Structure 1
């Protein structure tokens, strides 16, 4: 597995290099000046400053903060300079030419040290800047933007965030209280962060004061700027993208509330695996105002943006079926669009239906030494995208529930979740939920999936262990999607207790995941029908399940 992670990291690095070279060949290399920018604690962070040639007087500036080396942004600098703005790329604290120690974004947000704030205010004070600063970037460079928003720099005017996590705990380090093993371990070790960073994540499995500092939800009312939030249904931070949009659209301060933009495609964090479905025009949203976004906010252009749709989203459809509905981009005034909240109940006979079934239960053994393997999905370093799940579904520790064959198309667009009534003979275990589109030829193509640790069923702050045989309610967040299931297809729900190595395998003991040989086989039960009617909650826009 370590070898696969290294290969994936090398491939990603090669792709970034190719893209950077391609961008650099399209424009003359801009002139750069390296400056050491002082932070409030005296530590200096290295920044590459690119000023637009031939422009007199102060101009607006665009900032990117990165852990990958500020020298890789000459293409971005050239594009921003051509638009008439200064561009600044900065190495994060403790990375490359910057001083200090790298600390998992903890010095970038709302804590005592606020490197994003200090950098933005330093830029605004330079004689070549007109006092208006915007930010841009994706992935880690998007996370630094969300963290900067936490500290509300007075001269920040806008942000363009792609594929990023607004909460390091909920959308990066953990999902449903479960450690995102492959992504976090692979990223931190592959990019040679200090080993203490990984240990810091592992030592803090519950949501606590450390995580609150790097969680935008605790600072939403401070944010006063418009933000473009861009993500994908299969992106490893996709749930966070939608969450950040809704958070600031509904609870942001003046200037932010009602002034957010969301773009969601059927995309992953990079290129999908070759086995994954490829959706037509997946990277061509009808949002054409990206360049104008900075003009409005950094030049003070008098533009009425009220007529612009706030949401641009891709509705997936059957791939390879002529005339299948979907596979199109749409716009909406907000997210989610109107839908009918529909409960799909799981039955002991393996059915999934909108009527409550007879009371029953299904059980399986979950062995952490032999977890269900990860097959595609919202990954960073593992194979990603909508992949066929049959190799996982054929296992005895995976419960399968199918709808009848659909008589007509059914559109599902909006937030997804599941409510499971569960019991176990162990004090702690995990529960996973997958939704798949079952094609007439039998392929079971992933739509979305999620996980929840039983000890965090009521609170991510205070763990509560299960009593043997106790029936507990566990809610699983399955993030969001938009898809039209074609006639002749089925919707499938798969329930289990592991998805490794995407998520660490719960040892079922109540102890830490890395507990060595201290593991137990869990006898887990899903209760169905009656007063314990486990179900999936679906946002049905049109059609009947």
Structure 2
């Protein structure tokens, strides 16, 4: 079995140059906050905050802080109950959310800008009589993003973070990918979550990676970050690449205390992390991974992490490998390779970047085409986009055009591949198994009769029975091919080179399977539909 670091494309049109998150809520009595108060920020805005204190010990304890846009009272069981582990638990509504004052401009006031709500909250905690001077931050999704925004402010007293399924750069990992708006994520989350409508306008009015987004990009602030952290994510999580990039930036470029002190955990999960029913994994789309997928071989949960950093208890987390990642494999095939945890000292893992080439006969192989003149043609209609089915998603919805229920994960793509605007390239059955671990990139040489268009690329694992199951996907908006801070229109009829980022994966294609690459002009509503006009 060979490990490949990247799947590249070139020529023709394309060639490919023991942990469970969020412990179950206790069935004991509902935890009650010892203190509910309005914490003042430096501009006078007050944020609703609950404090849960242990019933034993004291009078001072280490503190674990959670800042949320989802209503702090909804987390009394998950976080309030942890006070009995000897922590003062602080749970706060973000600015403008639920009982907090102010305008809720999502995450804008959480970081190092004019308002610094996270930092102000930390300073308030340090001044309280029940705080022993040590603080940790934790939480998933939006609560992970608030941690990313806090870290570059060098918050006093904060000694560790536990960041679960978060986006450290809100342009690159959340709102836009390769210049394309993540339509269902942005609109669905902001509108469905009842956020101020100005949030949608702010996102849509800033399609470039400009100053607005620079202030929401903690990756670029890595040298200022001094905190050890766990970065926990899933191969089918909506913020997958953000989890990896957050780890890489801090582990390699972080400041003292952060550099070399990060942990990365990636499993075969979606945004909710590993999910089980009666101890057995739940399906991830149309596949159910083995029970070993539910927990890492080296435990590194939040309680153990904070027991070490906040209490000085040797829980073993410092000795845990820097990277634990699950290599997926064929499901339902006896003795299939993969479906196992692997470890590494850093990311990306050592691998051999290997190109696969597209051929004019729609073949896909490691042999380069003998001629560069081959081509495939399709017509993209913005009024009839190819639908999203599975992948790295946050929300579930009825599939465009079919009303089929769609969530994150792996699904059979065959009927989508039969559309006339989808071109597929497929290998012969593999003579031996092949591991692909790392970042995936498709390099396309394209010609369009419009000044702008999109190219969507999907990598699938074709089983012997014909099922074509998605592994990774991405989309590139051509006008951003030379940078996300500028417009570079296509010249109709003239060739252009673009790259499509499919993010990352770790997957073993089993012997007898085929590898397939599908190319089309859309992936809706994962990404917004491009009208091909060059704007918006």
Cα distance between partner residues in 1 of 2:201 and 2:436? 40
User: Structure 1 residue aligned with 2:389, among 355, 375, 380?
Assistant: 375
Q: Please name the residue that 1:104 is paired with.
A: 106
1:346-379 CA distance string (max 9 Å, x none):
1111111112112111111111000001111111
The correspondence for 1:288, drawn from 299, 309, 312, is 299
Please report how far the alpha carbon of residue 441 of structure 1 lies from its aligned counterpart in structure 2 after TM superposition: 0.5
Task: Deviation per CA, 1:421-445: give whole Å up to 9, x if none.
Answer: 1121111111111100000000000
How far apart are the structure 2 equivalents of 1:496 and 1:209?
32
Distance 1:204 1:379 in 2: 22
- CA separation in 1, counterparts of 2:166 and 2:342? 22
Work out which of the residue numbers 286, 289, 295 in structure 2 matches 1:279: 289
**Counterpart mapping for 1:49-448 below 5 A:** 49-270=51-272, 275-281=285-291, 282-290=293-301, 291-301=303-313, 307-357=319-369, 358-359=371-372, 360-382=374-396, 383-448=407-472
Quickly say closer, same or farther: Cα 1:344–1:178, change in 2 above 3 A. Answer: same
Shift of 1:40: 1.1
1:319–1:27 distance in 2 versus 1, CA, 3 Å: farther
Deviation at 1:135, TM superposition (A): 0.7
SS of the counterpart of 2:78?
Answer: helix
Q: How many Å apart are 1:109 and its aligned residue?
A: 1.4
Equivalent residues in 2 for 1:21-32 (5 A)? 23-26=25-28, 29-32=31-34
Query: Take 1:181 and 1:488, find their aligned partners in 2: how far apart are those partners?
Result: 37
Offset at residue 28 of structure 1 (A): 5.5
CA distance in 1, matches of 2:35, 2:189: 30
Normalised TM-score (structure 1): 0.88
How far off is 1:120 after superposition? 1.4
**Structure 1 residue 123: Cα displacement:** 1.0
Q: Whole-Å Cα distance in 2 between the matches of residues 289 and 202 of structure 1?
A: 38
Deviation at 1:55, TM superposition (A): 1.7
What displacement does 1:396 show? 1.1
Q: Secondary structure at the match of 2:384?
A: coil
Matched residue, 1:473: 497
Q: How does 1:35-46 map to 2 (within 5 A)?
A: 35-46=37-48
- Contact kept, 8 Å, 1:161 with 1:230, in 2: the verdict is yes
User: Do structure 1's residue 494 and structure 2's residue 508 form an aligned pair?
Assistant: no
Q: Which runs of 5+ in 2 are unaligned?
A: 1-21, 276-281, 397-406
Q: How far off its partner does 1:44 sit?
A: 0.6
Q: Which residue does the alignment assign to 1:8?
A: none
Higher relative contact order (CA 8 A, sep 6+): 2
CA contact (8 A) 2:30 2:76 kept: no
Distance 1:131 1:275, change over 3 A: closer
Contact 2:33 2:50 in 1 (8 A): no
RMSD: 1.7
Comparing 224-233 with 70-79, greater Cα deviation is found at 70-79
Is the Cα contact below 8 Å between 1:273 and 1:384 reproduced in 2? no
Show structure 1 runs of 5+ residues with no match. Answer: 1-18, 513-545
**Contact between 1:27 and 1:78, CA under 8 Å: does it hold in 2?**
no
Equivalent-residue separation in structure 2 for 1:71 and 1:296 (angstroms)? 28
Distance 1:396 1:243, change over 3 A: same
CA–CA distance in structure 1, aligned partners of residues 212 and 53 of structure 2 = 37
Match of 1:527 in 2: none
* 267-276 vs 309-318, greater mean Cα deviation: 267-276
- Using the alignment, how far apart are the partners of 1:421 and 1:297 within structure 2? 51
TM-score (norm: length of structure 2): 0.89
Structure 1 position 275, deviation (Å): 4.6
Aligned length: 493
